[in-house]
Structure 1
Amino acid sequence: MDQILRFETHAFGRPYHAARVRIPARARDTELHTHADFHEFMGVVSGSGEHLLTTGVSSLQAGDVVLVRPSDRHAVRGSAPDGLEFVNIAFPSSIWQGFLDLTRTATWSSRGPISFHQPAAVPVFEHALDRFQDSPTTYDLLRFWIDLLDLLKPGDAGGPGVPDWLAKACTAMRAEDNLRGGVPRLLELAGVSAAHLSRSMRAAYDVTPTAFVTDLRLEHAASLLAATNTPIATIADRCGFTSQSYFTRTFTAAHELPPRDFRRRSQRAFVP
């Protein structure tokens, strides 16, 4: 069975976790795993290797930057002759979602790992790692994200292009009013037929419109649970779930924690 990693296990109340990881060329692959409640950026410092994913194997080289979502099942291996060295920065998905909403950054709307090649990003990772050794703050995490955004441009991302109309519609769906409207509202924003939307979303994000909307609803709910004291029934309604019981079942299946426990753990992790 794959490992399911949790943020609090590694962060111990800090706003993010950072580590330098070295994988020799002849070492075994890291264990396949997913994340219960956090995203991570990998910044390759030196050497080369491979990123093992359910969708295939991607090469890794010095200067590569990869954003991994919680649902991405992955492992890493080093390649000859020097193996692989990267800095890993992990952070709660709920806080990342809030940052996306605040900055309206469409680049990060894609499902699955997003890869860039930007050697200038390596010092940004090193600085975040240095700050992690000395009582890191949420400001340090925000600075890390902002510095990366200054370097990583939409055109740098690997993989097939996302049509402009689809990127705009998916970004607009983050607004609560649109989120409550579900797939019908996504169709209105996209301005295309249901069949064309479905084909385009599968090609761009490898997901159905229904699954995409559900993901957005769960991510927004996680952000509200972590950052507010809004009643759970109200959060379910704000995110477009038809009932609190359905929301609880769906959220628990996704996070392996019911909403009430998720809130308690998230707020305990970030409030001194």
Structure 2
Amino acid sequence: MEAKLLTADRFVDADMGISYRYVHSSTEFFRPHYHDYYEIFIPLSSNALHLVNGKEIPLLERTVIFIRPEDTHDYICQGTDSFDMLNITFTKETAEGIFSYIDMPDALRHIHAFPLPPTALLSESEFSALLDRMNSIRLIGTDKKRLKGALRLFVARIIFENFLVSPEAQSNVHIPLWLTELCERLRENNNFIEGISAVDRLSEKSREHIARSMKKYYGMTLSEYINDLRLNYIANMLLHSNHDILDIIFQSGFNNVSWCYKCFSKKYGVSPDKYRKTNG
């Protein structure tokens, strides 16, 4: 599908130069698109893939993604649960004003230097504090003057705390391309079924380095990431096949049925049996 240009005159409040909304996949039609404005979005759940600039990246709760006008992206929901996110859009003029306000106008050019959108993973306390600040902003209501100032300060703080770091620390913020590509290869041809040994085959990095990087950038262990891919596979097979549940579990790469049930119930809130009955 050809990417569509989304314009500020439709998606950014003209009086404020900045807007926010909560997006729910159950009421949205996603398609590949790019903008003539900037966007910061924050996933509120972890059940979607971000297709951006030719790459597939898992969207995890507690991440902050800074989309630039040249980025082409889309979302693919996984499973039957709704994918939710907080979306903040702002014009190029507003972006320039924010970077000038924090006295780093040249840093905006640096934001454009990366092949993928700058991404930061928040701690649980940081994520909770961010949502609390956003809830306070929502209480402002229709007072556009106050809302404009509050949203700009909100975005300025996000940018300053997460994306304006020294060059030496820059690698601590942005997910390395090699790790993004490894995650993409694990999803291809169901390589995740093979498990940890597939990681050794698909990457030249040491397993220890990969494990540290997964924890640092995705907030989970390598095993947790692979198991999450397996759980997505199981959920899809439960919905779109009549295969026996035990067969599906073993086909996914899980060797322990009770452990699989525990992981599945934690992710989806129900057992595989009930998931199939409820959604089938």
Q: Relative CO higher for 1 or 2, CA cutoff 8 Å, sep ≥ 6?
A: 1
Higher-Rg structure is: 2
TM-score by length of 1: 0.50
